[in-house]
Amino acid sequence: LSMSGNLQKLSGALLLPYHLGRITTYTALAMLLASVLNLAFLFLPIRSLVIAPLLMTAALIFLINAFPDLKKYFMWLDVLNVRTPYHWISNAFQVLSQKRSLISQYLIGILLGFMPCGLVVSALMAASTASSVWSAGFAMAAFGAGTIPALVMMAFFGQSLKMKFPKTMQRVTQGMMVWSAIWLFLMAGANLM
């Protein structure tokens, strides 16, 4: 099977080790980014002037994911399209997917946590602005845990729901992304006050 086929089966299955692996990667990345941001601007009064643009950029990424046509107005966001070495991840994935152990599922989750995704990047940017490293880690762990039900439901019911209610499913997804963007814009505004 291809990597995408295996990935779809993994993400939808109730594979707790896989999901814990993803959450581990997300949490570690958020804590790393938060520590760099907090160390760089710990004693400087301009910290909020750095955090607000990060939150606004994260909000824009959510909006562009909700409405892809907006991308033409924010072409500079392509610079943030973080690329990971896909070939390396694909090879490691193929090796790990041959094994059926809990450890290999956990390692696959850690590995695939590095795959670029606009929503994950925006959540990481938002989490990295937390006042402490632990808060950033908790925020990203909560984000990762919050994705589990959606991934499981999409695997089991996603195709049938998309085929049966295509417009409704699209609107629900867009609504959730817009809500996240609004929340991030509000957080950015609060940081500037």
Q: pLDDT digit string (tens) for 47-87? A: 677 777 878 888 888 888 788 888 888 877 666 555 555 66
Mean pLDDT of the chain: 77
Per-residue confidence (pLDDT) for residue 21, from 0 to 100: 93
Pairwise CA distance, residues 187 & 29, whole Å? 21
Tokens of 167: 């417009």
Q: Would you say residue 8 has pLDDT above 60? A: no
More confident residue, 44 or 119: 119
Phi, psi of 114 (to 5 degrees): -90, -5
State residue 1's pLDDT score: 38
Q: Degrees (nearest 5) of the Cα angle 188, 54, 62? A: 85
Say how far apart CA 67 and CA 70 lie, in whole Å.
6
Model confidence at 182: pLDDT above 50: yes
User: Given the structure tokens 């070495």, which residue do they identify?
Assistant: 85
Reported as a pLDDT band with limits 50, 70 and 90, residue 172 is: confident
What mean pLDDT do residues 8-26 have?
A: 75
Cβ burial of 193 (10 Å; 0-12, 13-18, 19+) is: exposed
Decide: 24 and 110 in contact? Cβ < 8 Å: yes
Burial 59-73 (b: 16+ CB within 10 A, else e): bbbbbbbbeeeeeee
pLDDT at 12: 46
pLDDT tens profile 100-152: 788 888 988 888 888 767 678 778 888 888 888 999 999 999 999 988 887 77
